Structures are given as structure tokens and as C-alpha cells.
Amino acid sequence: MRHIAPLAGETPDAVPEQDAVTLGRFLGKLPAGVTVLHDAGNGGAPLRWVEPSELGDPTPYLLDGEFVLTAGLPFLQPEAGGGRGGQGHPDTSRPQAPRTVDPALADEYVARLVAAGVAALGFGLEPYYDAVPDEVADACRRRGLTLVEVPASIPFAALGLEFSKLLESGNAQAFRQLAETNRHLMRAVLSARPEHELLAALTQKIPVWAALFGPDGKVRAKSGAVVELSTVQPLVRKLLAGSGPRVETEALPGHGQVLAVGHPLRSSKDATLGGLVLGTATPLTPAQNSVVSSVVGLLELLVRQRTSGSLAPSQLATAVLLHPESLAGGSTRQLNSLRDLLAQSVSGTRTGPLRVVQGVRLDGAVADGPVRELLQWRRLFDTKLVELTEFGFAAITRLRVDDQLVAEVERLGWGLVVGGTAELPGLPSAYRTTSALRPRVAATGRTVREEEQAWTVAGLLGGGAGNMLASRLLAPVVALEPERRDSQLGLLRSWLGANGNWDATAKDLGLHRNSVRRQVNALAALLDMDFNQAAVRAELWIALQFVDSASPPGT
């Protein structure tokens, strides 16, 4: 027996077109011994099913594109007590002499299969025939039907099982391709130019050109070898004038077989917000149409977001921009209206306490682009009120910002300032408060919560800035020998703590009053400062809070 050879137009390693199993690919996977006796040149045709049948006329039970298997019973000559077309029951218990087939019977059988759209005929050897009858082979050649010989060692069930495996692997491949395509589309949506990137992704995956039109009929984005736009204007006008879910198609004159297909982009109230026009020379497969549907849905979301979506934030921004005085001196009705808009803008259903959150970009943060970052913070904090700033971002949220959310943000390389609760009129003040804590996050690289902070100058200044202040102001003292340094710092701390009182300082240190005066004056000269100025004393007192970790110059 010969090994199976690939059919014309098909190679054994050809990748199927998404969910289609072709005849050539199916035969290429069958065991050795299966032989193609006649290649009708339809190896690229999709194969729907593998169907064994011994009926004289199986066509009433077949769909187009099936592979019919028979052991030859329909071709047996009528026997006593039987009818034509295999209705008798031949004795198969003893060896059979070579059988002949009525050429007319074989031709009628094959003609019926061809008329029903059968992809191929598989002829199984034994128990009736030890070779494919010449009459059947001649009929298949004459009628253009692929004929395959199946040896007795290979049961028909094995062929059906192989087809099922191919069909399953083809579906799995289609799902993987669709999943990868969807990931590509989502990355496009999050790009800086989502509409242009979506069309580029679409034309990369599917053999079409694409043009996106706004409600005014003007092109907003395009990708691929788009035809002269004036030729599709009639279709665009029809698309924008209609209503409801629909697809408009039109053959483009002067462009061969190119068909323009228009998809409306609709609002939730069925207003037409624009249209997507695709051009293709070949019909799209179901899988490709699924990708087109995904792109249309994403474009609708984008256009709704730009026009009719997120109404509350735009109304709130307009009201505050045009009437800023309403926050401080507005009527109760005005304030309640603004509070309702604010609640909707932070994904709430009713007014409630809010908080301002500031995000500080740390050294490990990866820049994802402004659109990605904006959508990321809106998602994490469940709010539409997010502002990108030079230091990172600021957001108004109704969330408590628990430790789990903080950990997720810090894993991204960011630190947070989490403000306390505030009402609408207090949001500007809350922003100023969180801004005052922002240097602490930059210095420590960790999240800071307003309610956990000690509201002192040293507490607000933070370790990094405080150490720098101590190192600079007290540098001549810090550079002294350890014993001398500690003595001078202790003297300065005691004197400032006593508010410059000589007697109290002398009593605290066990020194004479004049000795204290002399040493303090020496310190003032060493530091080149006027200790009589309150501002100088205040700065020195703050610097002393961080002096233990201050480094001497040059270290």
C-alpha cells in the first residue's frame, strides 16, 4: 500500500483557517495504508463530518462537505430475496469471488454524492470487495469526486476519531488565535491613540482596509489600502442616516470585487455617533467576523466615552469652572446638586465622605504612557476623578484605601499619600494637606497616611530633609571630636530648651552662669549665626531633632 499523499493545493503542515478542517489536512493525518485513488483537486475544501453509510442513496441524510465511507454494500448485485442497491443480505461467511459492479449503478451513486456536495468517498476493503471496483473508480474520475481506499486493517471508527481530534485541535487553535487577537485589541484601546491603533490591529489580523467616520461624515482614522474616500461617501451617508443595529454593504464601482461593509457606532439611546467602513475582496470567515464585532464594540465604547459617557464628571467640572463661588457660598440646592454629581463621579450611588489620594512616582516605577496610567488609577481607586501631575497623580476616591490596595500600588513602584475624609467644600484643603505630606513619601519611599502623622514640624519634615538640615546647619559642631561634639550639642539643646535662660541652663548642666554664656557665644561664632534671632533659634531646635543621624561633612 502507498502512503497517503497530500491533495492538490494542500500541504501536510498547512495551518487550517481557524476553525476549518480541510479534506487535505484530514487525509494527511490518516494512518499509512490509506490511499488516494483519485484526487479531484478539492484538498482545500472544508470538511464538515465523516459519515459511514451503506445505504443505496444516503444523500437525504447528508450535509454538504461530508466524507462518506462505504464498504461497497450499495454496489452488490441483487440476490434472491433482495432488491437493488444492497437491500439484500449477502452471505459473508465464506470467501467471496471477485465481484463486478453495474457501471450504471456506480455512476448513479457517485452522481448523487456529487450533487449533494460530498467532499470525498472512502471505500473500505472487505468483507465485500478486496479492491475498489474499477466501475466505481471510473465514475469518481468522470464525476470529479475524490476517491480514497481504506484497507481492512483500519476500521471506519478510526477515521471518525481522527477527524474529531483534528476538529478539536482546530477549535483550540481558533480560541488561542482569538484570545491573542483580543489581547492585541485591548492593548490598542489603552494606547495614546486608541482609534488609530484599533484600526491598525484590525487590518493586521484580517485582510481588510478600514476607515472610521465621525457623525459629521469626516474620516477620523484609517488603516490599510483605503480607496478614495469619496467613493464610500454614499455608504457613509446611508450609515449615519439609519437607526438600529444593522450592517450596510455596497459594491464599489471601479474597484473589482471589493465590497464595502459599514457598521454604525451607536449610543446607548441608539443615536448614530459614527461609522466603521471596511473594504474586502473576499467574504470574511465567522472567526474574522467575530474580531470585527469586537472592534466595533470597542469603538462604540470609545465614542460613547467621548460624547455621551461619563456625564457626571463633565457636568461637575463645568459647574466648578464656571461657578467656583458655588463651593463656598452656593445655596443648599446648588451644593446638593454638586454633591450628587461628585458621588456619581467616584462611582458612588449617594453622597458620602471622600478622601484625596496623591501618588508619588518612585525610582522603580515604570512609565506606561498617560492613557494607561490614567485608566489604571481610575480602575484601582474606582473613580473618574484622577489628575496626572508632574509628581505622579492626584485622585478623589470614596474608598478607604486599605493595606491590600496600598500593597498593589507599591508593587507598581509608587508611594501614596492617603488623606483623611473630607466633604465637597473641604477638598481643596484636603489637597493642600496631602501635598504637605508628599515629601515624606519621596524621602522614605513608603506610603503615608494623614491620620497616622504627628503634626509637628519635625514630623512633617521627615528624616531625609531633617538629616540634610542638621548636617548643613550644625556642620562645624558635627565635625568636632566625639566628646567635644556631644558636649557642645548638649549645651545648645539645653540652652534652646530653656528659651535662652542662662540660669536655667547653668542649673541643668551644673555649670556656672558665666561659663554657659561664654560657651554659647563661642558656639554662635563657630556656627556664624546670630542666636538673638528667633528664626535662627527655631531652625537650630528643629535641626537638633535629627542630629543623631546627621553625617559630618565629607562623609
pLDDT in tens, 268-287: 777 788 899 999 988 888 77
Q: What is the CATH number of the domain that holds 253?
A: 3.30.450.40
How many whole angstroms separate alpha carbon 468 and alpha carbon 487?
Answer: 22
Q: How many CB atoms lie within 10 A of CB 330?
A: 18
Residues 430 and 391 in one domain: yes
Residues 161 and 69 in one domain: yes
Q: Tell me, what CATH number does 365's domain have?
A: 3.30.70
Alpha helix ranges (H) inside 323-456: 325-329, 332-345, 370-380, 403-411, 427-444
Q: What is the pLDDT of residue 17?
A: 43
Among 388, 420, 453, identify where a domain stops.
Answer: 453
Q: Is residue 11 part of a domain?
A: no
**Positive/negative CA dihedral, 543, 546, 552, 555:** negative
Provide the pLDDT confidence category of residue 456 given band limits of 50, 70 and 90: low
According to the model, what pLDDT value does residue 416 have?
Answer: 95
pLDDT at 13 over 50: no
The band of 91, judged by pLDDT with boundaries at 50, 70 and 90, is: low
Per-residue b/e over 398-419, b at no fewer than 16 CB within 10 Å? bbebeeebbeebbebebbbbbb
The predicted structure's pLDDT at residue 466: 67
Could you give the percent of the chain with pLDDT greater than 90? 23
Encode pLDDT of 213-223 as tens digits. Answer: 988 788 889 99
Give the CA distances from residue 142 to residues 15, 47, 300, in Å, rounded to whole numbers and listed in that order.
31, 22, 54
Domain count along the chain: 4
What average pLDDT does the chain have? 81
Beta bridge pairs of residue 284: none
Q: How far is CA 410 from CA 89, 403, 445, in A?
A: 80, 10, 9
Lowest-pLDDT range, 30-34, 364-368, 438-442?
A: 364-368
Q: Are residues 144 and 57 in the same domain?
A: yes
Range of the domain at 272: 191-306
Is the pLDDT assigned to residue 89 strictly greater than 70? Answer: no
* Same-domain status, 353 and 373: yes
Contact indicator for 454, 431 with CB cutoff of 8 Å? no
Q: What is the pLDDT of residue 177?
A: 67
Q: Mark whether 85 and 141 lie in a shared domain.
A: yes
pLDDT at 454: 63
Asked if the structure places residue 16 within a domain, the reply is no
The whole-number average pLDDT for the span 58-73 is: 89
- Provide the pLDDT for residue 140: 94
Query: 259, 288, 306 — which closes off a domain?
Result: 306
Whole-angstrom Cα distance, residue 122 to residue 163? 14
* The dihedral sign for the CA sequence 212, 218, 221, 226: positive
Give the residue, 24 or 470, on which the prediction is more confident.
24
Report how far apart, in Å, the C-alpha atoms of 346 and of each of 378, 396, 398, 399, 470 are: 9, 7, 6, 9, 43
* pLDDT tier for residue 420 given thresholds of 50, 70 and 90: very high
- Which CATH number covers residue 131? 3.40.1390.20
Give me the phi and psi of 219, to 5 degrees please.
Answer: -75, 135
Per-residue confidence (pLDDT) for residue 69, from 0 to 100: 92
Most confident range, picked from 410-424, 441-455, 475-489: 410-424
Are residues 480 and 391 located together in one domain of the fold?
no
Query: For 227-260, how does the pLDDT look when each residue is reduced to its tens digit (9 = 90+)?
Result: 888 888 989 988 888 888 888 888 887 666 788 9
Asked whether residue 322 is assigned to any structural domain, the reply reads: no
Residue 336 lies inside a defined structural domain of this protein: no
Q: Is residue 313 part of a domain?
A: no
Within this chain, do residues 44 and 131 fall inside the same structural domain, yes or no? yes
Q: Please count the other Cβ atoms lying within 10 Å of the Cβ belonging to residue 345.
A: 22
Rounded CA gap, 79 and 89, in Å? 8
In a domain, 339, yes or no: no
Shared domain for 290 and 386, answered yes or no, is no
Are the beta carbons of 223 and 202 closer than 8 angstroms?
yes
Rg of the chain in Å (alpha carbons): 42
* Residue 21 clears pLDDT 50, i.e. is over it: yes
pLDDT value, residue 139: 94
Residues 262 and 363 in one domain: no
Separation of alpha carbons 449 and 468, rounded Å: 23
Question: Do 437 and 467 fall within a single domain?
Answer: no
More confident residue, 458 or 499: 499
* Per-residue pLDDT band at 339 (split at 50, 70, 90): confident
Among 89-93, 134-138, 212-216, 238-242, which is the least confidently predicted range?
89-93
Q: At 143, give phi and psi (nearest 5°).
A: -90, -10
Read off the pLDDT of residues 321-335 as tens digits, 9 standing for 90 and up.
Answer: 888 877 777 778 888
- Separation CA 128–CA 435 (nearest Å): 92
Q: List, for residues 353-362, the tens digit of each pLDDT value.
A: 899 999 999 9
Residue 15 lies in a domain: no
* Phi, psi values for residue 334, rounded to 5°: -65, -45
pLDDT of residue 498: 86
The answer, yes or no, to whether residue 81 has pLDDT greater than 50, is: no
C-beta separation of 271 from 210 below 8 A: no
Q: Residue 266: how many CA atoms within 13 Å on its side-chain side?
A: 15
For residues 466 and 449, state if they share a domain: no
Is the domain of 43 the same as that of 108?
yes
Measured between alpha carbons, how far apart are the two ends of the chain, in Å?
A: 88
The C-alpha cell of 165 is what?
A: 481530534
Asked whether residue 358 is domain-assigned, the answer is yes
Which pLDDT belongs to residue 463? 58
Higher-pLDDT residue of 455 and 66 is 66
pLDDT digits (tens, 9 = 90+) for 152-196: 888 888 888 888 878 766 555 666 666 677 787 888 877 778 889
Considering only residues 292 and 443, tell me which one the structure prediction assigns the higher pLDDT.
292
